[in-house]
Amino acid sequence: MRTCLIVDDSRVIRRVARRILEALDFRVEEASDGAEAMALCRDRLPDAVLLDWNMPVMDGLEFLHALRREPGGERPIVVLCTTRNEPKHIAAALAAGANEYIMKPFDGDIIEAKFAEAGLPFGRTA
Amino acid sequence: MTPSDMEVLAQIVGARSGLVLPPDQAYLAETRLAAVAHAEHLPGVDALLQALRAQPGEALLNAVTDALANNETVFLRDRSVFDLLRDAVLPALAGARPGGAVRVWSAACATGQEPYSLAMLAADLPGMKLDLCASDLSERCLQKAKAGLYTQFEVQRGLPIAQLLRWFEKTEDAWRVRPELRQTVRWRRFNLLHDMAPLRRFDLILCRNVLMYLTPEARRLVLHGLAGRLAPDGVLVLGASESVGDAPDMFEAAPGGRGLFTLPCKAGAKGPRTGT
Ligand SMILES: C[S@@+](CC[C@H](N)C(=O)[O-])C[C@H]1O[C@@H](n2cnc3c(N)ncnc32)[C@H](O)[C@@H]1O
């Protein structure tokens, strides 16, 4: 089963995203900031990361930079998921190695479309 | 809304567009008509129905037809079709034409995502000059398409983020297609039920996800019209769940499938290779 790490400091968002991703057949793990996410990744790299930008301790872009420098860290598909919606933010995230970019608010259709875009198409179970 | 109300509506919509109004969609129809009533400064749906039963003007009939049509669309809808157009169909057509000039018609373009998707894709094809026309019955849809303004929600369905960055600029609360891309599409209002003989010929016609909503007679009429507008080696693209079944002699399924059709070979056409 494919794994996805959800990194967001909002428990509500994590819960919503988890429900969507589980319906898309992912095994989901959660972290509430970049540092926590980094620790989980060092333990075991997920197939995908759904990544908020603004978070305490270590923000999404810092995490992304760090992840891409880890051994094997170029492999996970990273989809930013943030309220930042200026072109310059998007460009910065892509330059940092993001595969796709979701502007909040999102729904199941957007997550599905963006993950497929990033190279993770699904067979839906439910 | 009573069955007789639905009948009145079905007649109006059917006559003007060929669209079928399923009787079981009364609830949906009512919601949409409420919006029309509001826009027309009528007190409610009942007043609107009354006006429709009396002597409705052209504008009102258009507004009602428009409201009851399904205008849903997304960028790069059915991606594999666009891949096929980019990798095989368009290069073959361009190769067979002086200067790589290919005439394309997006024949039920709704709010414009389909022609803009084509324009984006063609921009990356070397040696290609797309002459791109887009039409729809709905004036409201065409206005939006021309403006090229899409909500954040709309630009996140089907469009890769890199394409968004490249071809759109952000406005206060929406995303607007950049002028250089907008300028590549010519828009016009056209009813597919109308005589197509005065139109010119096209090398590629996209008529996707509209036949499925029409009556069989309307589908036949449209398919006959389109066959007359297609260059001998041209390609017709229908929606993923549509076929030429109502005009079986007019077209042949193109190799490669995915809703691509050509004129029958016996007409002397040598279709471009669309196989993968
Ligand atoms: C579901 S949209 C399809 C948009 C796009 N081709 C796609 O596949 O995503 C159907 C469109 O057909 C248009 N339509 C319906 N009847 C029509 C007619 N008789 N002539 C021209 N357009 C028509 C509607 O206004 C609507 O915008």
Tell me the C-alpha distance between A102 and B85, whole Å: 27
| H-only helix segments in chain B | 3-17, 26-39, 45-53, 58-68, 79-84, 90-95, 113-123, 139-147, 152-155, 161-167, 179-182, 216-229
Whether ipTM exceeds 0.95: no
Q: Answer whether B112's CB lies under 8 Å from B185's CB.
A: yes
Tell me the C-alpha distance between A6 and A39, whole Å: 13
Domain spanning B79-268: which CATH class is it, in words?
alpha beta
Q: Encoding tokens for residue B103?
A: 């005439």
Tell me the C-alpha distance between B145 and B166, whole Å: 18
Please give the pLDDT value at position B272: 53
Partners of A94 on chain B (C-beta within 8 Å) are 161-162, 165
Q: Encoding tokens for residue B101?
A: 């000039």
Cα of B13 to nearest chain A Cα, Å:
31
Dump pLDDT digits (tens) for A75-100: 999 999 999 999 999 999 999 999 99
Q: To test ligand 1's pocket by mutation, which of B75, B133, B136 has the most ligand atoms within 8 angstroms of CB?
A: B136
Please give the pLDDT value at position B269: 46
Q: Nearest-CA residue of chain B relative to A109?
A: B157
Dump pLDDT digits (tens) for B47-93: 999 999 998 999 999 999 999 999 999 999 999 999 999 999 999 99
Angle, nearest 10°, between helix axes B3-17 and B45-53? Answer: 60
The number of beta carbons lying within 10 Å of the beta carbon of residue B198 is 6
Q: Is residue B238 scored above 90 in pLDDT?
A: yes
Q: How far is the CA of A1 from the centre of ligand 1 (A)?
A: 40
Beta bridge partners of A5: A29, A49
Nearest CA to ligand 1 atom 3: B209
Task: Kindly list the domain boundaries of chain B, sorted by start residue.
Answer: 3-68, 79-268
Query: Degrees (nearest 5) of the Cα angle A38, A44, A46?
Result: 80
Identity of the residue numbered B187? W
Residues 6+ apart with CB under 8 A from B1: B26, B27, B29, B30, B45, B49
Dump pLDDT digits (tens) for B25-34: 889 999 999 9
Please give the pLDDT value at position A124: 44
Q: Answer whether B109's CB lies under 8 Å from B192's CB.
A: no
The number of beta carbons lying within 10 Å of the beta carbon of residue A12 is 8
Beta bridge partners of B134: B106, B187
Please give the pLDDT value at position B246: 92
Identity of the residue numbered B42? L
pLDDT band at B107 (very low <50, low <70, confident <90, very high): very high
Whether residue B163 has its Cβ less than 6 Å from ligand 1: no
Residue B14 near chain A (CB below 8 Å): no
| H-only helix segments in B124-257 | 139-147, 152-155, 161-167, 179-182, 216-229
Tell me the C-alpha distance between A42 and B108, whole Å: 51
Tell me the C-alpha distance between B183 and B119, whole Å: 10
Cα of A75 to nearest chain B Cα, Å:
19
Say yes or no: domain B3-68 is CATH 1.20.120: no
Query: Degrees (nearest 5) of the Cα angle B90, B95, B100?
Result: 80
**Under CATH, what is the fold of the domain A2-116?**
Rossmann fold (3.40.50)
pLDDT band at B199 (very low <50, low <70, confident <90, very high): very high
Please give the pLDDT value at position B256: 76
pTM (2 decimals)? 0.93
A 33-92 near B (Cβ less than 8 A): 85-87, 90-91
Residue A102 near chain B (CB below 8 Å): yes
Helix (H) or strand (E) holding A49: strand A48-51
Dump pLDDT digits (tens) for A26-78: 999 999 999 999 999 999 999 999 999 999 999 999 999 999 999 999 999 99
